[in-house]
Amino acid sequence: MSSSDDQADVERVLAGDVSAFEGIVLRWQGPLINLAYRFCRDRGRAEELAQEAFLRAYRSLAQWRKDAVFSTFLFALATNLYRSELRRIPARIVSVSLDSIAEPADARAYDGGLEDQDRDLAVRRAVDTLPAKYREALILFYFHDLNISTAARSLGLPEGTVKARLSRGRELLRAKLPRLFAVPHLKEA
């Protein structure tokens, strides 16, 4: 994905060539849908949210200041939309109590009886049950390949705040998944 392609398409759209927006859609549909999916865990809704994000991007293309790359602008806009939409209509994430999460008996025993899928599901469900501000920080951090500054720009927050939220989020995850960390009672330890 080249940022010069994005810039060229944006300039064409702003000059009145609506069809140039298709290049932007084709380049960014995957990332935007996947980001939305991580927020709502519903494929249909993820596409609806991504479509709304593209429409909003189209409406506010003129506001893109070219000192930042287009993807930063697009992800910040999409993240903002996803967060507000999911606050308005929360995702129908299977609300499992933490006790009912099928936590692996021994997460490190890859060759043992542990099903990797169950372990992954347990971790993702635990993330889904976190308070929004920690969940959002974790989602963005992992979506942007563990890049704190990109996650911070997408969330519109200072890096320090994102670091603090990640740290607290991980702490909560440790408390929710004690066996994964092989620490039965972290607070008492």
Interaction site with another protein (CB under 8 A)? 18-19, 21-22, 25-26, 29-30, 33-34, 37-38, 43, 46-47, 50-51, 54-55, 58-59, 107-108, 119-120, 123-124, 127, 138, 142, 145-146, 170, 173-174, 177, 180-183, 189
Query: Smaller CB distance to another protein: residue 67 or 109?
Result: 109
Among the listed residues 33, 56, 29, the one whose alpha carbon sits nearest the alpha carbon of residue 44: 33
Least distance in angstroms from the C-beta of 67 to another protein? 25
Distance CA 12, CA 6 (A): 10
Query: Smaller CB distance to another protein: residue 152 or 177?
Result: 177
Least distance in angstroms from the C-beta of 184 to another protein? 11
Least distance in angstroms from the C-beta of 170 to another protein? 6
In order of 66, 73, 168, the CA distances from 28 in angstroms are 18, 12, 31
Query: Smaller CB distance to another protein: residue 7 or 41?
Result: 41
Least distance in angstroms from the C-beta of 18 to another protein? 5
Distance CA 51, CA 30 (A): 11
The residue whose two tokens read 């990109």 is 150
Among the listed residues 130, 23, 16, 125, the one whose alpha carbon sits nearest the alpha carbon of residue 74: 23
Question: Could you tell me which residues come within 8 angstroms of residue 182 by beta carbon, excluding any fewer than 6 positions away?
Answer: 106, 107, 108
Query: Smaller CB distance to another protein: residue 21 or 152?
Result: 21
